[in-house]
Every structure is written in C-alpha cells, then in structure tokens.
Amino acid sequence: MGALAALMSMAAWAEESKYNLPTPQSEVAQEIFDLHILIMWVCVGIFIVVFGAMFYSIWKHRKSLGHKAAHFHENTLVEVIWTVIPFAILIAMAIPSTKAILNMRDASNPDMTIKVTGYQWKWEYDYRTEGIKLMSALSTPRDQIDGSAKKGENYLLEVDNAMVVPAGKKVRLLLTANDVIHSWWVPAFGIKQDAIPGYIKDAWFKANTPGTYRGQCAELCGKDHGFMPIVVEVKSADDYAKWVADQKVKSAAVTMDPNKTYSADELKAQGEKVYAANCAACHQANGAGLPPAFPAITGSIIATGDKAAHIAIVMNGKPGTAMAAFGKQLNDVDLAAVVTYERNALGNKTGDLVQPADIKALRK
C-alpha cells in the first residue's frame, strides 16, 4: 500500500497528468492545486512512518521467529505526544486552507456578471449588462452515445453555445436553477457551485489564458445528469468584444417577429428545432417518450386533445414531475411553434395552428 501511495504522489509531479487535478488556469485553482499537493505529501509522510513501524513489527515481532510478547499496554507520554503532533500538523494545514477559502469566497468587485440558470438538462447564461442570453446544451450526437458512430474528441464535453468570457477579468456568476439542484463546475478554474432553485448563490473565477475549458454538472439532477456539460471559451479582450457585437447582430437576425402570423410549415419547421433542443431528451426525438416517467407525445391525450390545455402544460409545467415550465424559457414564437409541431408531427395530425399572438394573449 505504501508503494501504491508513493506511486500516486510520484505521478503528481507531472503536470496535466491523468493522475492529478487538471492544470490550474486561475489563481484559485492554483491555490487548490498547491494545497492538494501539500496535504498529499503530508499524508504520504505520515503513512510511511506509521506503516513503516507496523510492517517492521510484522516482520520482526512474529511468533514464527520465536519473538516473545512484551506486556506493556500504556505509556502516557507516548500517548500525549501522538495526540499533540497530529494536532500541530492540522493547524499547519488549516492556515493556508483558511487563506484559500477567504480568497475563493471573495466575489466582490467583479469586472462582469453572468447569471447562470440550471435546467434539466442544460445551462442558461444570461449576460445582464450585455443583454445576451444563451442556452447551452450537449451537442454530442445521439449516435455517438449509443455506439453507432465513432466518438469525437470532446465526447460528452461539447455544447452548442459555450459561455464566452474575456481573459484576465474577474467574472462573477450568479447561480440558480429552475427545477432541481445542479452544480456548475469547471475544474481548470477551481470553481464548483451548486445552483439551487429559488436561491441565488454567487461564485467567481478569473481565467488566465484564452482557450476552451470544459466541465460538467456535478450534482445528480435526474436522467441526463451525465449529459449536461459546461464549456467556457476564454477570449482576449478584443475577441470578446467582437463576440459580443456578433451575438447582438445574430440575435436580432434570428429572432422571429412575434407579431407576424406564420404558416403551418413555418411553425413546424421552427417547432422541430425547438422540440429537438428542449423536449427530445425526455419525450424522445420520435415522440415515443420513455413511459411512465416521460410520457409519449405521439397520440397523447394532451397533444391531440384540447389545445389550451396543451399550451398550458408546456408553459406552466406539471408540478411533481420532471415536466418544466417552458413559459419562462422560450419566447412566444418558439412556444407557438413547438406546440404546433407537437400537434401536427410525431404521428399527430390535429391540424391545429398556434400563433405567437395566442401565446402573447395568455401571458397577460
């Protein structure tokens, strides 16, 4: 066992090894990395001393060698010494740890703030001052997961829209969740903070160098907990400014006019995209669902029955189940489109159309 522990710590020397924490990309992550190495070595040292003594004893003090048992069974001095020494070591460990905590928890004076909301099973990044809002979901294709296609380099650690931040700036995150508890974790920055529905918690990071950094949701949040990655693209100040400008243009171009009346085909085309991004994880791409937890859309009472009831459940969710309230997540056009899609695709043919204006009326 001693050899095993030694092996672990030898490996700890090599940076970016598969035996240790990832290479730190922020000051906090560096502090954590150093603390971990320090404590590892202290533990290895104690292990070697204590178990060195034990294995020496096992080697020498055995009956088969004719060793006669001594009969001592207490020694106050020795007992006091081995109570006091560990205590002193612990105090020595506590000092740098305390410093690191105080630094880690000091989210004051940030350069920018992003609100992060966890959903089952995607992240929303809301850049309050820049006016940018992104939904960030897994982009690994399903066929890679079920093994019918070759797995890509960033299998399960890739998203459609990454969080983008400037290098060298203190980014404060305000974290919350919409349904269950999630946890936002990027190892390279040394940040992990639970996102708790109904509460806002803050955390911060300052990324040193431009690059792409990956993490995952770290709190069990249901079926697709393992499929909820986090990707942060760190850009130079100029590139970041360019990205912000692009996003604004793009969101203006992409946003469909909520005041227009759309044709069935237009709604279904948009609805298919919305469905794939928001609904397919549970109800499945073909609408078959995974009953009983995740009911089918195809032929369901809700998707083929009363239109108002269908819109209501999509907008308000269903308490006590994993069905989220999408009214807050999606705009009028997307809600109208996805309900139209569900009622006229996936094997359903109600012929009903829902227009953005219908949704808008319901919001009042």
Partner 1 sequence: MEATNAYAQDHGHDHPTGLMRWITTTNHKDIGTLYLWFSFIMLLAGGCLALLIRAELFQPGLQIVTPEFFNQLTTLHGLIMVFGAIMPAMVGFANWQVPMMIGAPDMAFPRMNNWSFWLLPVAAIMLVSSFFVPGGASAGGWTMYPPLFLQGGISNDMTIFAVHILGISSIMGAINIVTTILNMRAPGMTLMKMPLFVWTWLITAYLLIAVMPVLAGTVTMLLTDRHFGTNFFNAAGGGDPVMFQHIFWFFGHPEVYIMILPAFGIISQIIPAFARKPLFGYASMVYATASIAILSFIVWAHHMFTTGMPTSAQLFFMYATMLIAVPTGVKVFNWVATMWRGSMTFETPMLFAIGFVCLFTIGGFTGLVCAITPVDIQIQDTYYVVAHFHYVLVSGSLYAIFAGVYFWLPKWTGHMYNEKLGKLHFWLSTIFFNVLFFPMHFLGLAGMPRRIPDYALQFADFNALATVGAFGFGLSQLILLVGVIKCIKGGEKAAGRTWEGADSLEWTHLPSPPPYHSFVTPPVVK
By CB under 8 A, what part of segment 262-301 binds partner 1?
290, 292-293
Task: Report if residue 364 touches partner 1, rule: CB under 8 A.
Answer: no
Q: Quote the least distance from Cβ 205 to partner 1, whole Å.
A: 11
Residue 355 C-beta: closest distance to partner 1, Å? 30
* Rounded CA separation 130/245 (Å): 9
Burial per residue of 102-126, b for 16 or more beta-carbon CB atoms within 10 angstroms, e otherwise: eebeebeebeebbbbbbbbbbbbbe
Q: 336 vs 242, 253, 281, 308, CA distance in Å?
A: 33, 19, 20, 11
User: Measured from the CB of residue 101, what is the shortest distance to partner 1 in angstroms?
Assistant: 5
Cross-sheet strand order for the sheet of 112-119: 132-136, 122-127, 112-119, 171-177, 201-205
User: Contact with partner 1 (CB under 8 A): which of 128, 151, 250, 260?
Assistant: 151
Determine, following the binding rule CB under 8 A, whether residue 320 of this chain makes contact with partner 1. Answer: yes
What is the Cα–Cα distance from 265 to 52, expressed in whole angstroms? Answer: 76
Q: Which CB atom, from 50 or from 301, has the smaller least distance to partner 1?
A: 50
| C-beta closer to partner 1: residue 144 or 329 | 144
Candidates 13, 14, 155, 349: give the one binding partner 1 (CB under 8 A).
155
The residue type at 49: V
Considering the rule CB under 8 A, would residue 3 count as an interface residue with partner 1? Answer: no
Contact between 162 and partner 1 (CB under 8 A)?
Answer: no
**Residue 313 in the binding site for partner 1 (CB under 8 A):** no
Is 185 one of the binding residues for partner 1 (CB under 8 A)?
yes
Nearer to partner 1, 236 or 321 (CB): 321
- Give the three-class secondary structure for 134: strand
Q: Find residue 214's DSSP bridge partners.
A: 231
| Position 83, amino acid | T
CB of 85 to partner 1, least distance (A): 9
Minimum gap (Å) between residue 309 Cβ and partner 1: 21
Backbone angles phi, psi at 200, to 5 degrees: -115, 125
Q: Omega of the bond prior to 121 within 30 degrees of 0, cis?
A: yes
Contact 270, 359 (CB under 8 A): no
> Where is 102: in which H helix or E strand?
helix 76-104
Cα distance between residue 97 and residue 169, in whole Å: 24
Cα dihedral sign, 175-187-248-280: negative
Where does this chain touch partner 1 (CB under 8 A) — which range of 213-221, 249-257, 328-336, 345-353? 213-221
Instruction: Report how many residues bind partner 1 under the rule CB under 8 A.
Output: 102
Residue of the chain from 9, 27, 40, 277 that contacts partner 1 (CB under 8 A): 40
Is 118 among the residues that bind partner 1 (CB under 8 A)?
Answer: no
Using CB under 8 A, pick the residue from 14, 41, 79, 261 that binds partner 1.
79
Per CB under 8 A, does 41 bind partner 1? no
For residue 212, list its beta bridge partners. Answer: 233
Instruction: Give whichever of 197 and 299 is closer to partner 1, judged by the CB atom.
Output: 197
Under a CB-based contact definition with an 8 Å cutoff, are residues 313 and 322 in contact?
no
Least spacing, CB of residue 114 vs partner 1, in Å: 16
150 near partner 1, judged by CB under 8 A: no
Measured from the CB atom, the residue of 102 and 252 that comes closer to partner 1 is: 102
Q: What is the DSSP letter of 16?
A: T
x-or-dash pattern for partner 1, window 217-246, by CB under 8 A?
A: xxxxxxxxxxx-------------------
Nearer to partner 1, 158 or 233 (CB): 158
- Which whole-number Å values give the CA distances from 188 to 22, 150, 160, 259, 357, in the listed order? 6, 27, 20, 45, 45
Which residue's CB is nearer to partner 1, number 23 or number 236?
A: 23
Least distance from partner 1 to the Cβ atom of residue 176, Å: 9
The verdict on 203 binding partner 1 (CB under 8 A) reads yes
CA distance 52 to 7: 16
| Closest distance of CB 315 from partner 1, Å | 16
